Chains A and B, each alone.
Chain A
């Protein structure tokens, strides 16, 4: 697998408590990478550093093996970008705006613009200032997809989109992926990342907390378990298990939360006669919240 984006000890500090700290992340060719974190975590800072809008305080970023600073022109020829805070020229129509971007990019067919606008049900004749937030976002999406770039960098791409359009967006991402393109998208909504991403990086307060496949992250998730035994059990029997917390023992009912492997818990429980076991299915949202709160601290 070819690496498309590689950051090496990338740091950016400005002001107080902002920016990113010693970030090492890798995005592979042909994957959809989800960059997750709460607002202000450093997602946009990472993206804007990769795009050479802002310069790293230390460390570096390589895109397609090229240096983000020195070779930004060559890099920009192969990428498209959708800003998180999309602002366009209010007086221009959608068509004028897209024509302008197409000219700046080069190699964009009118057909591509037309098709994307139709799929997203976007009226190109209206001036930008007359468009709702969702419709402005559609112009931004057409702009990002029309040039068929090798890497799409999308900052909070679904913000303002209604659910139906979101589905169309997911399809577009999937098509790009199937065509061998790479998609780097940031979000603070777990469910959409879980839906379309192959791998996820979680960032909080400028630090990368975890980076892994959705499946692996789920395997390391914190889940709650309820165990029902034939006889009452002593809390002490479970106290030695390192990766459990929130342990409550009520007679023959044991409730606890497990982070990561449940192996040790099950082996301990197997010493007693076990009547029933209920495991709460975790979704990524819980993992995500756990990382947010700082409950999980291991870095993959």
Chain B
């Protein structure tokens, strides 16, 4: 269990993963549980009318882009879960962990003892990235399984592959912000700073993506937002697409290389 930094991190975070995972399961259970009520033709008509009366910008900001669609399984799950709540939960987890892994250890002064061992700084960074990736994808896996079980129980017309693609994209996007937090932590050794920068970037990324459809000047910036790729090609309808995997994966790997370079050349815990 405590063979290296990777396994030690996983082992140490096991309870944290359990609690955050439980949070996802409860959220999915509650929101999926409301689906039959929403699916009732009378309610959905009322809802559609109410929604149409609301400003489009406001709806977009809450992750609702397709009002008419909110009553289909894919539209409902996208609007109510992947649009906002699920990424929020998973990103709190990944950003928190990303800033803790190097900067947190450095501030706590436990990093000194690790560095004194025959272990390269690059190994510390890569094993931290590996642990962060596994734990982020585990959050995606929990999301997928709880959605799938919910969908089967309520007989929602949506496939496991589509749910899996959306869950994977979301955890990859959350990992992306976790990787940014880890990069800034590795580069500066400041935990609060890395958490703040990653969070601000996530907030900006979220609004740029969700408001791009209603605010013209944001549109060219949309492709810079990881949120854009999480929802690229509507995974809940069309399943897996290589592009989000390619783009988000590249960003994560680049963060890793940059973190190694910057961590290797600086003074630790001055």
The chain A residues found within 8 Å of chain B, CB to CB, are: 14, 48, 51-55, 73-74, 76-77, 79-81, 83, 85-89, 91, 96, 99-101, 103-106, 143, 153
Contacts and interface: CB of A to CB of B under 8 A. Distances in A.
B116 A80 contact: yes
B2 A83 contact: no
A88 B110 contact: yes
A79 B8 CA distance: 23
A53 B12 contact: no
Report, as a range, how many residues of chain B touch the other chain.
20 to 34
B117 A101 contact: yes
A81 B118 contact: no
Nearest to B119: A104
B109 interface: yes
Given A53-B115, A73-B120, A104-B5, 4 more contacts: A51-B116, A74-B118, A79-B116, A88-B113
B169 to A, nearest CB: 33
Contact of A54 (B4, B109, B267): B267
A81 B116 contact: yes
A85 B12 CA distance: 23
A78 B268 CA distance: 21
Interface of B: 2-5, 8, 12, 108-110, 112-120, 267-270
Contacts of B3: 103
A85 B268 contact: no
12 contacts: A51-B116, A54-B267, A76-B116, A81-B116, A86-B113, A87-B108, A87-B113, A88-B113, A91-B12, A100-B2, A103-B2, A143-B113
A279 B116 CA distance: 47
Nearest to A80: B116
Interface centre among B108, B112, B120, by most A CB within 10 Å? Answer: B112
Contacts of B4: 103-104
A263 B186 CA distance: 60
A264 B37 CA distance: 106
B137 to A, nearest CB: 24
B8 A100 contact: yes
Contacts of A105: 117-118
A35 to B, nearest CB: 17
A87 B269 contact: no
A79 B117 CA distance: 8
For A89, A104, A106, A143, which residue has the most chain B Cβ atoms within 10 angstroms? A104
Contact of B113 (A79, A81, A96, A103): A81
Contacts of B269: 53
Given A55-B267, A96-B2, A100-B8, A85 B109 contact: yes
B25 to A, nearest CB: 25
- Complex A-B, nearest 6 residue pairs according to Cβ-Cβ distance, in ascending order: A81-B116, A54-B267, A100-B2, A104-B117, A77-B118, A87-B109
B118 A83 contact: no
B112 A53 contact: yes
A83 B109 contact: yes
Contact of A73 (B110, B118, B268): B118
Contact of B117 (A76, A86, A99): A76
Given A81-B113, A87-B109, A106 B2 contact: no
A48 B106 CA distance: 14
B109 A53 contact: no
Nearest to A83: B112
A95 B117 CA distance: 18
Contacts of A52: 115
